[in-house]
Amino acid sequence: MRALTWQGKHDVRVETVPDPQIVNPRDAIVEVTATAICGSDLHLYDAVIPGLRAGDVLGHEFMGRVVETGPDSTLRKGDKVVVPFTISCGACFFCRQAQFSACDNSNPVESQEASELLYGHAMSGLFGYSHMTGGYPGGQARYVRVPFSDVGPIIIPDGVPDEKVLFLSDILPTGWMAAENAQIQSGDTVAIWGCGPVGLFAVQSALLMGAEQVIAIDHYPHRLQLARRLGARTIDFRHSHVLEALLEMTGGLGPDAVIDAVGMESHGFAPDNLLDAMKQKAGMGADRAHALRMALTAVRKGGRVSIPGVYGGMADKFPLGALMQKGLQIRTGQTHVQKYSQDLLKRVLNDEIDTTFLISHRLPLEDAAKGYRNFHGNQNEWTKVVLTP
């Protein structure tokens, strides 16, 4: 089959690789009908996530038709499914309390070693996201083997266009959980750093959850435009002083909750970020945490901090003082996708949430490398790329 493979930094290619097979009893094989490039795939493209090997098949946002099932799968051939990017067993301590992205049993034991050493505990399995999270071949491919197919995949009723539900795989629940982690109360201002797909879904979610005001921060005019269209007010950090603007836009109080939808590759020319960028380039395991530092400084006393942005390593010059002295609460984590699947599917089918507005480009899978190049290099116009095999 054809699949997008990672070969090295800024080098991805569509190649022919062996078709997947059923390996475990609960597996299913899905023939992909639509898949997307995620902002977090760009961290792989930039080679800042450890544990990638040349030839790895990327992609963790995908959907398709079930073409084969293992004896213990509950899916049926022909089912249309969206597959969550988190692989979860449904039975362990974590899955039983709906912390699906912390599943103990989905990352093969050999590949648990790295995260156990680095993070103190083993991470769960994810599709197409390095060998630290299992080395599972991803969804930017014609076919995908889906483990624990009785737990993850969301069955989609017939007649629903792929693009409408595809993002249930990651970015929609990720934006939703980001807003949930902000613990929004009436009257709240929520400030969101990053108007990429997750940030934009966080804008929608925060407004649906009753935020009085959502302020979206970025430097790409087109992305800020999309946020404004959803009902957010915006700050362009190239034009305005963010901290001062946030104070002035919140009656001098500061935002009640902040969301970092940027993650480990912050943009901008602040001194701390330049230093981080140098260290990240030198392979010192340093994350560029500029946006998070700013968010911690901006949030009001006693405020809430939600971090859906992906981090992988270490950060220094971290405003611990602000965190403690202002009495902040932090909530973060990979998304517990399966926890939100049914509720969000309903909201999408009822048109409560617009999912297709952010798609800027549609390409055949064969052109996936072009998609990566532009999503990486022209972020203003390339807001979301959907690929079809």
Partner 1 sequence: MRSPGLPALAGVFAVSLAAGVIVQIGARDRHRSDDAPGRTARRRDFGGYRVEGRTVTINAPRSDIYEHWRRPEKLMRFLAEVTRVEERPDGIFLWVLSASGDKLEIETKLVEDRPDELLAWRSTEGAEMDLEAKVQLRDAPAGRGTEVEAHIAYRPRRGIIGQWAGTLGGTDPVKRGRQELKRLKMLLETGEMATAAARGNF
Contact set with partner 1 (CB under 8 A): 18, 20-27, 70-72, 87, 89-93, 96, 104-113, 125, 134-137, 145, 147-148
CA 166-379-86 angle, to 5 degrees, is 35
Whole-number minimum distance, CB 83 to partner 1, in Å? 15
- The CA–CA distances, whole Å, from 318 to 115, 254, 296, 314 equal 22, 20, 9, 10
Question: What is the rounded CA–CA span in Å between residue 389 and residue 385?
Answer: 13
Contacts of 222 (CB under 8 A, 6+ apart): 380, 381, 383
Report the residue number, 89 or 298, with the smaller CB distance to partner 1: 89
- Minimum gap (Å) between residue 17 Cβ and partner 1: 9
Kindly state the smallest distance separating residue 6's Cβ from partner 1, in Å: 15
Q: Which CB atom, from 1 or from 275, has the smaller least distance to partner 1?
A: 1
Nearest CB to partner 1, comparing residues 103 and 168:
103
Identify which of residues 97 and 225 has a Cβ nearer to partner 1 in the complex. Answer: 97
How many CB atoms lie under 10 A from the CB of residue 36?
Answer: 27
Comparing CB distances to partner 1, the nearer of 125 and 303 is: 125
Q: Which is nearer to partner 1, 53 or 317 (CB)?
A: 53
Specify the pairing of strand 56-57 against strand 28-37: unpaired
CB of 150 to partner 1, least distance (A): 10
Quickly list DSSP for 23-51.
-STT-EEEEEEEEEE-HHHHHHHTT-SS-
User: Shortest gap between Cβ of 191 and partner 1 (angstroms)?
Assistant: 38
Minimum distance from CB of 41 to partner 1 (Å)? 18
Rounded Cα distance, 139 and 137, in Å = 7
DSSP-derived 3-state class of residue 243: helix
Shortest distance, CB of residue 343 to partner 1, whole angstroms? Answer: 25
The nearer residue to partner 1, 108 or 364, going by C-beta atoms, is: 108
Beta-carbon contacts of residue 237 (< 8 Å; ≥ 6 apart): 217, 218, 219, 268
